[in-house]
Homo-oligomer: A and B are copies of this chain.
């Protein structure tokens, strides 16, 4: 079994990425807007800050109260759009329930949308445009596979999950890479038969332990996108790693698989945008 080690690949990419940021004629700045103080959001932001520090990217963490109004939050996004010293904008999700998330996200200037979540970027990645900002998770998976010499072209890929934030960008990425893609979800009648027939199985359901030995087949490559908190607060994926690992050809662990690749790809997106637009 080959371990698809995201930390290792991330560290391989790091020097080139540092060089890209150093080559810019300004210090790149990433704004992260956080409404409220969900511990999971705070942990994700901490991971981004840590990695940014290694890259020489400044993170402007704008933490506001969970009871901020739509209008006030919108004003912050507009300020970040107008501020030429800010090159990328993240609105940390999920937002408080009272907020119209789509309206906030779509207000981000597409040229600063490092998450690829604005309507403009969604349409671009869905149609496979070269200038699209892909979701960091989808890009991270693509890199994790490529760096392990695993081709998507012509392969049978099964994706479990269909959310706009995770599943759909992965589906689009695989189609853009010319894979034949099957999409499964909670209403799929016979999940195991759909997952077993895949050359590459990508699981983004957010359900710990969903994938067991009866869902996989020998020779298969398994990518686990799930990140949930286990009983003892450890990170767990959607795949029962210990039970499955010896039945497949390659598998990504959680933590240490897609997670580190996602953080890394987010900053690759930022580097692309900085080079494309030279905002400052």
Contact = CB atoms under 8 A, between A and B. Distances in A.
A185 B189 contact: no
Given A122-B119, A122-B122, A185 B175 contact: yes
State which size class the interface on A falls in: 20 to 34
Interface string A122-156: 11001101000000000000000000000001111
A187 B153 contact: yes
A97 to B, nearest CB: 17
B185 A182 contact: no
A21 to B, nearest CB: 29
Contacts of A245: none
A42 interface: no
Contacts of A187: 153-154, 178, 180
Given A180-B183, A182-B181, A183-B175, A189 B154 contact: yes
A194 B154 CA distance: 13
A102 interface: yes
A120 to B, nearest CB: 5
Contacts of A184: 180
Contacts of A119: 118-120, 122-123
A162 interface: yes
Q: Which has the most chain B C-beta neighbours within 10 Å: A154, A162, A194? A: A162
A168 B176 CA distance: 12
Which 8 residue pairs are nearest across A and B when measured between Cβ atoms? A119-B119, A178-B187, A127-B164, A119-B123, A182-B182, A180-B188, A122-B123, A181-B183
Interface in A216-271: none
B102 A154 contact: no
7 contacts: A102-B123, A102-B129, A119-B119, A119-B122, A180-B187, A180-B189, A181-B182
Nearest to A158: B182
B120 A106 contact: yes
Q: Which has the most chain B C-beta neighbours within 10 Å: A118, A129, A175? A: A175
Interface string A153-197: 111100000101000100100010010111111011100001000
A187 B153 CA distance: 8
